Amino acid sequence: MDLLAIDLGKQSFHLHGIDAGGVLVSRKVSRAKLVETVNEIAPEKIAMEACASAHHWGRWFMADGRQVRLINPRFVKPFVRGSKNDAVDADAIYEAAIRPTMRFVPVKSIEQHSAYEIDGSSYSEGGEPILARLDLALRPLDQKPLFGVSLGPIVVPGSALSARRRSEN
């Protein structure tokens, strides 16, 4: 098989591809059986929507000697046909990946992925860096930051320091 598209999920993944004989391969597999099933199908290229777990799986499949193509989800959306489900998403990923003009996202190494998380580029819904919040939760207040990320002094709403900061702004 030349290309296998994988729709990633938390517990199950949907695979979509067309083998050399023109037979459609569309199946749902569990997380535990993904690598085994991909090795059984033996595609040359694997396409996935780009996300954090896609970089993990991309590194895994590249270690097996496969070419990995990650696609920005906004480029996959135009190829979704019908009601949205895992099989339709996998088909859309396949369609997007076979386009000659498609732009792909490079697979990040573990170091690149970690640096992205640590430098504060990855923010939570509340707007503060995820690791900084984790750091505050894991360390006593008098210790240095664990992950090299510091939010500065801790300001408790209603405290004197909080009132002074509001008056300065």
Domains and CATH numbers, the chain: 3-108 (3.30.420.110), 109-151 (no CATH)
Looking at residue 158, the DSSP 8-state letter turns out to be T
First to last CA, the chain: 62
Q: Would you state the pLDDT for residue 147?
A: 47
**Prediction pTM value:** 0.66
Tens-digit pLDDT profile for residues 27-49: 999 999 999 999 999 999 999 99
